[in-house]
Amino acid sequence: MTNSALGFTHRFVPGTAAGTPPLLLLHGTGGDETDLLSLGRSLVPGAALLAPRGPVLENGMPRFFRRLAEGVFDEADVRRRAADLADFVARARAAYGLAAPVAVGFSNGANIAAALLLLHPDVLAGAVLLRPMLPLTASAPVDLAGRPVLMLSGAADPIVPAANAAALAQRLRDGGARVSHETLPTGHGLSQADVARASAWLAA
């Protein structure tokens, strides 16, 4: 059931497998709180799933923060929305009795997850970033000591420049995160290779 409490419209699916980390599912532009539920179930069967809807509308399509143009982000809004999302996660953890979640974000959802890592490093236990971009041109040094992050880029992605994704990987490594960055033979959309790679990484 969709719930609008705790500051974000969201879906919560209780976990059924003890010891599995909850997943914070963050959709791409035009998605909603139901978009990645099936992906979450596939990646970690039995995990608790927390899926908020992006609160910003762009031409009627939900997003997690504003952009000024394709690939050009409103960085003040990125910072504000990342703080709002961090607060939501804290409230949801208290309400639902959750451990720190692992984010699984696609496109715009991956970018807000990256912003959480860079601005609010204690919020996430780790992250799977699918087609991410660097959300901030500059950010203060951050302590991500040992935090596991999987980044999956697409070799034929027309939206995310390879250098931009590499810069994000380096920014996270500079903070101490354990980053695995792989480029798959696909475009911006998700593929079975993404599901297989992310599932194996999460299981490990």
Question: What does the pLDDT look like over 134-150, one tens digit per residue?
Answer: 999 999 999 999 999 99
Report d(CA 7, CA 16) in Å as an integer: 25
The pLDDT of 197-203, averaged and rounded, is 97
Which band of pLDDT confidence, cut at 50, 70 and 90, is reported for residue 1?
A: low
Please report the sign of the dihedral spanned by the C-alpha atoms of residue 81, residue 87, residue 89, residue 92.
negative
Q: Which among 23, 20, 10, 17 has a CA at the least distance from the CA of 127?
A: 23
Q: What percent of the chain has pLDDT over 90?
A: 95
How distant, in Å, are the alpha carbons of 16, 32, 93, 101, 125 from that of 20?
9, 24, 15, 10, 12
Identify the three-state secondary structure at position 49. strand
Res 148: pLDDT = 98
Beta-ladder partners of 179: 149
Q: Is residue 180 scored above 90 in pLDDT?
A: yes
The pLDDT of 117-136, averaged and rounded, is 98
Q: Is residue 109 scored above 70 in pLDDT?
A: yes
Tokens of 56: 């910003």
Walk me through the domains of the chain, giving residue ranges and CATH numbers.
2-203 (3.40.50.1820)
The pLDDT of 13-34, averaged and rounded, is 96
Mind telling me the catalytic residues? 107, 157, 188
pTM for the structure as a whole: 0.97
Cα-based torsion angle of the residue sequence 116, 119, 125, 129 in order, rounded to the nearest 10 degrees:
40
Report d(CA 135, CA 70) in Å as an integer: 12
